[in-house]
Amino acid sequence: MVSSNNKSGPVVLVSRKIEYSFPNSYAYLSGYLIEQGEKIKILFRKDDLNQLINEILALNPLLVGFGNLYPELYEISQIIKLLRSKNIEFPVVIGGQMVSPTPEFAVNITDADIGVIGEGEIILYQLVQALRKGNDPITVKGLVVRNKESTILTGAGEFIMDMRNLPKIPYELFPKEKWLKIGRWYVKNCPQPHWRFADKVINIQGGRGCPFICNFCYHHSIPRYKPIKDIVTEAKNLLALFKANMIYFGDDLTITGPEKARELVDYIKVYKIKASFSLSLRFDVLNKINDELLWELKKSGCRIMGLGVESGSNRILKIIGKRITKEKMIIDLERLKNVGILPTVSIMVGQFTETKEDVEESIEFMLKTVRYNPNIQYAFTITTPFPGSRLYEYIFKKGLLKDNKEFYDKYFCSSSDWKQVVNLSNMSDDEVAYYFDKINKLYIAEKKKMLKKAVFKIEALQFWFGRIHSKIEILYEKRKRNILLMILSSVFGIIYIIFQILLEKINLKLRGIKL
């Protein structure tokens, strides 16, 4: 039986490093456990894994938890390997998207004792209670448990049905210098007009699950939404608490139709919110929002709209399950340009049965929209059939891969983010790579044609200046007592801020974006 020898120890959860997004999963997990009176410690993964292991051991935890997205699976298995070499006396628990669709595989490949399937708040709490009382974890629903001889699935677990009952997020556990000033992260890593240097961004989750089933996507739970009024109230409180200027509605569930967009605009007015916001939307929803309401969204603060184009071929859009045509998407992107909302969009190459002609249509789509609005921010990916998606099922049905392990080996055989794991298209591997490269290059070339040269020079300056700033900060962190470095760091810090703000202003002007 899986048990813990530290029955009164804290629950230790090890999150990924915070970079450009707030870790919602760990925020809600810890919030729920704290509301139940549990002791929680959140650690963040670091480059020095031995130091991380020592920190975990020093806490004598009841259990240690890791997890979240599939790309983290390998690194987490390496951390668990190191932990195991210390003969630990507490269970290792994993959870998140990397576990839920393939639970038995995930615990076996990582050598974890227990996997939490689906939403973790209630299940993890029930597991914590069982471990504290010395009960067998197999009595808790929603788990996969590895006993010596077998792997046991304990059945469907409980989740929070009413989104109004989501726990309060214990922000004090998540260092705000890491997640609040996201504008600074963008300037240092990929300067773009969408995000501003001085942005302080709060993250609002509008719901969970999704009623659609795009063929590349996975959801472990049914769709549920928070009332718009609650979302806006939460935003108002957080904006005040963190003196933030921007709201990030990260999931495309916040606005499910024009009536929700209307509610959002109205509540923003009622609560007198003076902040910018980024909204994620499906194109079929944007299509139903008329021009007048779109203007109102813009006036109420909508600066960025995140949308998934995915393909410029109507045939592929149908296969994905997008319920929209390229013609309608082009009109919608033009409408966004007309009201001054900055779109961020994605296109994938290598979709199921995709041909060269389909990708050429995506390229044409991209070129047309960039010509109309060179401030569109595109991201291109190679289709990856992540576990849980319809495409993942397909690769085994069609015998393209043998099993979960083969997918894992192929996914983790290179560290590059943009690689082809399985070819689902009607193109050869080389052709997929060629077209992926082609769309990326043509995008950059078209932007260069459409925007003034100075824009690129300024963004390069912003980027390099940011890198130098990071280097000085690291140097200072290492030798905090060195007075000369302290003076250098603070003088440079002030010049840095002034310089970045100035560069940004010029850049936005050159791009024709009003502040």
Binding site residues, ligand SF4, CB under 6 A: 210, 212-214, 217, 252, 282, 308
Instruction: Choose between 207 and 340: whose C-beta lies nearer to ligand SF4.
Output: 207
93 binds ligand B12 (CB under 6 A): yes
67 binds ligand B12 (CB under 6 A): yes
101 binds ligand B12 (CB under 6 A): yes
| Phi, psi for residue 157 in degrees, rounded to 5 | -95, 175
Contacts of ligand B12 in 280-339 (CB under 6 A) = none
Residue 345's binding partner out of ligand SF4, ligand B12, none, with CB under 5 to 8 Å set by partner kind: none
CA–CA separation, 325 and 309 (whole Å): 10
Choose one: 19-27, 183-191, 283-291, 437-445; the region binding ligand B12 (CB under 6 A): 19-27
Residue 148 neighbours by CB distance under 10 Å:
6
Instruction: Choose between 313 and 500: whose C-beta lies nearer to ligand SF4.
Output: 313
Tokens 């925020």, residue? 27
- Give the three-state DSSP class for 239: helix
Contacts of ligand B12 in 27-46 (CB under 6 A) = 28-29
Tokens 């291109």, residue? 380
Q: Which two tokens stand for residue 465?
A: 């200046």
Instruction: Choose between 32 and 197: whose C-beta lies nearer to ligand B12.
Output: 32
Choose one: 148-156, 190-198, 385-393, 403-411; the region binding ligand B12 (CB under 6 A): 385-393
- Tell me the β-bridge partners of 224: 208
Can you give the length of the chain in residues? 515
Burial call 286-297: b when 16+ CB within 10 Å, e when fewer: bbebeeebbbbb
| Spatial contact of 350 and 382, defined as CB atoms under 8 Å apart | yes
Instruction: Choose between 14 and 348: whose C-beta lies nearer to ligand SF4.
Output: 348
Instruction: Choose between 74 and 212: whose C-beta lies nearer to ligand SF4.
Output: 212
Choose one: 4-12, 17-25, 129-137, 287-295; the region binding ligand B12 (CB under 6 A): 17-25
Question: Least distance in Å: CB of 120 to ligand SF4?
Answer: 19
73: part of which helix (H) or strand (E)?
Answer: helix 73-84
254 binds ligand B12 (CB under 6 A): no
Please count the residues of this chain forming the interface with ligand B12, following the rule CB under 6 A. 38
- Per the rule left: phi > 0, alpha: psi between -120 and 50, beta: everything else, 389 is beta
| Spatial contact of 226 and 163, defined as CB atoms under 8 Å apart | yes
- Give the three-state DSSP class for 311: coil
Q: Contact positions toward ligand B12, by CB under 6 A?
A: 13, 21, 23-25, 28-29, 65-72, 93-98, 101, 116, 119-121, 124, 205, 216-218, 250-251, 381, 384, 386-388
